[in-house]
C-alpha cells in the first residue's frame, strides 16, 4: 500500500503454510479489517480508502478467494471503515475511523443494526476476547489529532471493553 495513503497501489496477499506468498486481489488503497463468516465460506475485507466492505467466496482448504462484491458502501456513514470482527451470529462489527463508534451490520441485508458510541473519534479496530469471547475490545488512536482535539478527547488512544450481549468466535490458527 502507498505509505502516504494517497494512491491505490496496494494488494491483498495470502501467506501459505509453506511460507510462499500469493497475490489474491489488486486495487487496494488502505488495507484494513478482515474476518470470516462462522462457516468460513465468506471472507470480509475492508479497504478504508474505497470506503467499502467487500466480501468474497472463500475456500479455507486452499486459501482462495473469488466472486468479489461490495457488501457495504460506507460513503453515507460517519467516518471510514477500519478494523472489523465477526460475532457468533455472523454479524460484522466495524470500527469507524473519525466516526466515534463501532457499528454492527447484518451481512445478508447489508444494513446497520446497532451502534456503540466511543469517546474518541479515531476508532481503529475491535475484537472479541475473554474466556467466553463475550467482551468486545475496542481500540482507538491519537495519530493526527491536534492538542486542542486531544483536550476534548482525553480517552483517545485508549482501549475500551464492553459486553454487547453476543459472543465472538476463536480465530482459525495459522499452521506451519
| Eight-class DSSP state of 168 | B
Give the SS3 label for residue 149: helix
What is the Cα–Cα distance from 110 to 90, expressed in whole angstroms?
A: 12
Instruction: Note if 82 is an active site residue.
Output: yes
Catalytic residue among 47, 82, 87, 134: 82
Sequential DSSP letters for 15-33: E-TTS-EEEEEEEESSEEE
Short-list 30, 29, 33, CA closest to 45:
33
Q: Cell numbers for 27, please give them.
A: 486495487
Positive or negative, the CA dihedral 48, 50, 51, 56 is negative
Q: Known catalytic residues?
A: 82
Amino acid at each position: 500500500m502507498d505509505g502516504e495513503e494517497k494512491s491505490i497501489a496496494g494488494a491483498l496477499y495470502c501467506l501459505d503454510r509453506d511460507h510462499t506468498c500469493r497475490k489474491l486481489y489488486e486495487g487496494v488503497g488502505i488495507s484494513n479489517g478482515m474476518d470470516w463468516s462462522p462457516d468460513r465460506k465468506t471472507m470480509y475485507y475492508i479497504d478504508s480508502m474505497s470506503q467499502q466492505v467487500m466480501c468474497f467466496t472463500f475456500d479455507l482448504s486452499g486459501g482462495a478467494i473469488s466472486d468479489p462484491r461490495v457488501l457495504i458502501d460506507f460513503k453515507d456513514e460517519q467516518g471510514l471503515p477500519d478494523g472489523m470482527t465477526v460475532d457468533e451470529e455472523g454479524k460484522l462489527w466495524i470500527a469507524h475511523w473519525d466516526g466515534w463508534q463501532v457499528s454492527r451490520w447484518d451481512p445478508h441485508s447489508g444494513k446497520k443494526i446497532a451502534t456503540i458510541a466511543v469517546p474518541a473519534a479515531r476508532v481503529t479496530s475491535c475484537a472479541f476476547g475473554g474466556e467466553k469471547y463475550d467482551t468486545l475490545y475496542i481500540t482507538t488512536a491519537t495519530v493526527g489529532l491536534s492538542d486542542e482535539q486531544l483536550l476534548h478527547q482525553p480517552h483517545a488512544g485508549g482501549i475500551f471493553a464492553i459486553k454487547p450481549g453476543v459472543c465472538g468466535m476463536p480465530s482459525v490458527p495459522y499452521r506451519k
